[in-house]
Chain A
Amino acid sequence: MKILYLGALNNYFKQFESDCLRNNYDVIQKESLTDLENIYHDLSIAIVDADFEKSHSSAFVEKIRDYEKKNLITSSIPIIYISENDSIDSREKGFRQGADDFLDKFDSSSILLKINSIIKPNTLWQGINVVVVEDDLISAKFISHVIKTKGANVINFSDGVEAYEYLKGTDEVKVDLILTDHMMPNLSGISFVKKIRNEIGYNTVPIVFISSIENKTEVLDFYKAGGNDYLSKPLIKEELFVKVDQLLSNRFKSKLLERQVNELERVNRVKDQFLAVCTHDLRTPLNTILGLTNLIIEEENIESSTRSYLEQIDKSAGNLLELINELLDLSSLQTGNRDFQLSKLNLVKVIKSSLRNFTAINNKKIHMHFYSSIKDSSILGNETMLLRVFNNLLSNAYKFTPEKGKIFTHVKGDQDWIIVSIEDSGIGIPEKSIENLFNEFSGAGRTGLQGEKSTGLGLSIVKKIIDEHNGYIDVKSTEGKGTTFTIKFSRMKK
């Protein structure tokens, strides 16, 4: 018995193959169906990669179904259509050709679950623990039997109190489903559900209520107590199976997501620490490179070619330093290492001191204009960080504005807000870059008009700092005309 994978021989397949091998399934990979008659009798499932199929303008599912028809095969094999693009179109295409199921290509656990349910239907719920609380022996036996046939473990209790004691000493992760009767001596089903939800604090495990009560208010009480589904007696095997199956597959998925979220959080922390340590250590050798280069440049009797090489080293090392500084800023803002203090400051003063830096280096004769229409520009902020914001925005404006252009910085305000706008007559930002402009590593980093290097990190740092100040930043840009950044800070309450 083999699984046929119709798709490219790539990393995805290798991962899929190893997942299958771990479950003792043999996989064969094909990129065409030319020898279907030789392999068909060995197959138990076919998995068709829709994206591969599309790029090869083929119709694998249809070909398999045609082969079955032509050879009068009545027990056709199940075909799972997988794609990274879950759209109605791709689903429709699969089902129209004759596929049995459609799954997300990268949801490997669902794919394996599906394969398991086809190849080994009696192990569908293997490893699952179900608690059944039922005082009627015949019902209890029936429920246990149905659930056990799919491979789950069943723990039976004839009394709510006993079940409660058991659950109290068990971790919620180890219980996947609880089925409970209502009419029981000692403890009613509703009280039992209330106790496990409220007292033990089980809040994710699904609970199914089994009862012959037809009274709607009582059923409603059960749901209110924290139940998830209801099965009425007499029980029907198929209904029991379908409901339990749905609840369990949701439980699987949420458990899986929880694991993935935890893992992502861990990896993200590692990344932040790595960035913080790494950037700090990267600066140390630069100390020597920049220091010594500068020292030699300042000597008088060196050849002009040597001097120009040294100046290039100095410039490159300077670029590297700027990149590291930006990474360092970003990581310190991200690791929550940000207990920089906020204090009352004069925003106009900060902007002016940043503007002064640019008037000093303004060799493009750009007209830099500043105007403030408010008297009091006090806000609660961190001066170092805000300087970084304005240096960043102004240096962008400078980099992307041609000679003799304009950069207008305007501060205005109303009762609640102080609004700073920085408007340039530069080359503008392409519309497709605007959306991700403030994301880190957006790739939006562009080389300036005089070849200035850019990391693409600057604006994400600006955004983070503005966020820390509970402010807002917005951008409007027209290609060829210019860009305006607008920042809003809340005024300091008097």
Chain B
Amino acid sequence: MTETVWTSSGTTAHEPKFGDYVELLKPRVMRLVIFTALVGLLAAPVGTHPVIALASILCVAVGAGASGALNMWSDWDIDAVMDRTSRRPIPSGRVERGEALAIGVTLAVFSVVMLALFSNMVAAGLLAFTIFFYAVIYSLWLKRATPQNIVIGGAAGAFPPMIGWAIATGGVSVESVLMFALIFLWTPPHFWALALFRNSDYIRAGVPMLPVTAGTRVTRNQILIYTLLLVPVAVAPAFSGIGGPVYLAGALVLNAMFLAGGLRVWRRNDGDAAADGYRVEKRFFGFSILYLFLHFVLILAEALCRLADLSPAGWPRPF
């Protein structure tokens, strides 16, 4: 797979460690994917054998890793000029581009086939579509083409709980669509907050992020618009099969805080942001990660309540 080049200094060029390959799979993204897929699986009304559940979730994780490797293969030139990504395995010279492509394609095929064998065709089909959407539609096309890149590309990150639900139930339902919508609408405010304080990175790399193409004022407006759209969607699962009073209470608090953060970001301008080193934007970005994580913790808490028979029988569930 690799060719060793001995140099005059006695060191070698390009001889990756196993950890370099692991890094290619974006383990941090993988963790979030595993968590949301697992919550989707556990929130489903149908039980799954623990061994099947473990094997299936691992397939989803490997599929996410394959997407990460394919993303690093396609974005090598962007990654090289951005501070945040310049130490990734390809731009730092630890892994060759061709290797990333080979690993990405192999793991993508392997994860989809194994998921079809371990669970069902619906889950495998959703995983295949997710990998295709992230690697081809987002990474190869949208990211370099439109400032709406992360709005549409956000769908790729929103599929894992839907896949988890499909592993357990073999289908798609209102509950899994609501979990999808939660991540889908959360993505734009999350990434645009990051883009506000990483603007120079994106300008240097020539990526048409919204602050680059439309300016920071429009970006702040869009962050608020998407936050307003997100709030009702994030509260709605409380009145579905995966929600309940615990979810409602938690979601109300989290969404009030998120909305307040969105308003603070919206009220500011570049002068305010530069004066305090984008403190509010960075705080909003950091809280957005906790916000999403806690919503899925709440869904998990509701699943445990149902398991322990603690869910109120008369709870309204119009969805």
Q: Do A and B bind each other?
A: no
- A interface with B by C-beta (< 8 Å): none
- B interface with A by C-beta (< 8 Å): none
